[in-house]
Amino acid sequence: MNVQIEESWKQHLAPEFEKDYFIRLTEFVRSEYQTATIYPPGRFIFNAFNLCPFDKVKVVIIGQDPYHGPGQAHGLCFSVNDGVPIPPSLQNIFKEIQSDLGAPIPTSGNLTRWANQGVLLLNATLTVRAHQAGSHQRRGWEEFTDAAIRVLAEQRENIVFILWGSYAQKKGAFIDRNKHLVLASAHPSPLSAYNGFFGNKHFSRTNEYLQAHGQTPIEW
φ and ψ at 111, to 5 degrees?
A: -100, 15
Please give the angle made by the CA atoms of 46, 50 and 51, to the nearest 5 degrees: 120
Q: Is 100 a catalytic residue?
A: no
The Cα 220–Cα 218 span in angstroms is: 6
Q: Are strands 160-164 and 59-63 parallel, antiparallel or unpaired?
A: parallel
The Cα 62–Cα 43 span in angstroms is: 20
Q: Are strands 119-123 and 59-63 parallel, antiparallel or unpaired?
A: parallel
The Cα 62–Cα 167 span in angstroms is: 9
φ and ψ at 61, to 5 degrees?
A: -115, 125
Q: Are strands 119-123 and 38-39 parallel, antiparallel or unpaired?
A: unpaired
Question: In sequence order, which residues have a C-beta less than 8 Å from that of residue 193 and are 6 or more positions away?
Answer: 89, 92, 186, 187
Active-site residue, from 55, 65, 82, 146:
65
Distances in whole angstroms, Cα of residue 187 to Cα of each of 90, 177, 190, 220: 11, 20, 8, 18
Catalytic residues: 65
